[in-house]
Amino acid sequence: MDFTFSSIIDITASFFGGSTTLAGLALMLMAWAVCAVILYNCKAPPQYSIVLLIPISIFFMAYGVLNETIGLLIVLISAFLVASEARRIAS
């Protein structure tokens, strides 16, 4: 069995009727959930788990799995949440 990134995307896309965008979003959601559980066990604020979504969405956009509009929206919302948390910590 081939265990590459494109084969993982193809296998995941088969669950969503062949849509690679939904497969990319599902993989991003899975990565975020794993990160959120790890940070929850470390007693960290939930906004820290959002930081992982920025490089993952940029990677998926560059790979062509995620639509650029959706990826840019995820990056902007994630950056806003991280910046608001940083501003709250700084004051």
Residues 51-73 have pLDDT tens digits of 888 888 889 899 988 888 988 99
Which two structure tokens, joined as six digits, stand for 89?
Answer: 């910590």
Which two structure tokens, joined as six digits, stand for 8?
Answer: 């993982």
Q: Is the pLDDT of residue 6 over 80?
A: yes
The whole-number pLDDT of residue 26 equals 92
Q: Is 86 exposed, middle or buried (0-12, 13-18, 19+ CB in 10 A)?
A: exposed
Rounded to an integer, what distance in angstroms lies between the CA atom of residue 59 and that of residue 45? 25
Residue 1 banded pLDDT, cuts 50, 70, 90: low
Report the predicted TM-score, pTM, of the whole model to 2 decimal places: 0.80
Answer yes or no: are the C-beta atoms of 73 and 54 closer than 8 Å. no
Answer yes or no: are the C-beta atoms of 85 and 47 closer than 8 Å. yes
In the predicted model, what is the mean pLDDT of the chain? 88
